[in-house]
Amino acid sequence: MFKPISLLRGLARVLALAATAISLQVCAQSAETWPSRPIRIIVPYTPGGSTDVATRIVMDKLSQRLKQSIIIENKPGANGNVGATLAARAEPDGYTFVSVLAAYSVNPHLYKMPFPPEALVPVTKMAALPLFLFINKSLPVKNVQDLVAYGRDNPGKLNYASSGTGSSAHMTGTNFSLLAQIQTQHVPYKGSVPILADLLSGELSFCFDTMVVFMPQVKDDKLRVLAVTSAKRWPSEPNIPTMSESGFPGFDMGSWTGLMAPKGTPADIIDKMAKEVGIVLGDPEVQEKYLKAGFIADPSTPAEFGALIEKDGAMYGNIIKTAKISVN
């Protein structure tokens, strides 16, 4: 006897299997032929900032290697959350990536996130961005321990700047204050340039920031630099001690930038992107540009980058909880 319902069910199963096979075939083809059209890189910060510069240096060379256009879109706001949200909601087809800063590990502890953490997956770390401790030259201190002693003798008198609440510079300044057991006041700014002006004028006591904007002022004897926050001394500034060497063993809080992709992006495309970025970062020309800009080329596998995000998230979460930091 003819059974239309059974026939329809069987047909539906066949169509579902065919759709799955076609989908897998499309994914395989996309991985083999990727990229076949322009790639979009979202930078969730303003043009000219550390993340933007680090990304553009790499993507300029990567575009040549892949023989494909790479379009960079700056989408700043909410400590990087605006651009990250756009990426998280993008089609996971291998043609949208987002360049995130260390603040990405901070945000879930400060903000009500507009997307779940699993909505973005790690691709590769690109750059390490060590921060330096710069101070106003009028302060009667010559090294980090002098600054700590001054802070303890003058509770509440020291203030420090960062490029915003939740930034890696904010977290670094907070952690330093906690470990040194000194009372300091955090002053958030919108960028390094206004911080520099107030640090030079004496409105600010100190800041942790990258070297590009501030180091020329040190060379002109207008500011003093006390230490670098990375585990090792900066290659071009070997006379500047690390924070670890300055009385804070294990202090390693440099920032970083890296690529993430929407969840569902084919794994082989993610692996290929990570591999290609790693090759670009091994280029001596790129490494030289990075050093001049205050970065160190530091590629990773997706798994290694994911582990870094998780590790830093735990560290920042502890700092935020201990210091009772909020965005309210």
**pLDDT one-digit tens code per residue, 120-140:** 999 999 999 889 999 999 999
* Mean pLDDT value across residues 170-182: 96
CATH superfamily of 132-228: Periplasmic binding protein-like II (3.40.190.10)
Domain boundaries, the chain: 38-129+254-323, 132-228
The pLDDT assigned to 293 comes to 86
Beta bridge partners of 128: 256, 296
pLDDT digits over 294-323, tens only? 899 999 999 999 999 999 999 999 999 999
Q: State what percent of residues in the chain have pLDDT above 90.
A: 73
pLDDT digits over 143-158, tens only? 999 999 999 999 999 9
pLDDT digits over 71-81, tens only? 999 998 888 88
Higher-confidence residue: 296 or 48? 296
Residue 28, pLDDT > 50, answer no
**CATH number, domain 38-129+254-323:** 3.40.190.150
Q: Which of 89-93, 114-118, 172-176, 311-315 has the lowest mean pLDDT?
A: 114-118
Residue 27, pLDDT > 60, answer no
Strand duo 223-228 + 132-136: pairing:
antiparallel
The pLDDT assigned to 31 comes to 65
Q: Residue 118: exposed, middle, or buried by beta-carbon count in 10 A (0-12, 13-18, 19+)?
A: exposed
Closest CA to 208 of 183, 172, 244: 172
Closest CA to 103 of 25, 161, 165, 187: 165
Residue 280, pLDDT > 50, answer yes
Closest CA to 208 of 184, 239, 235: 184
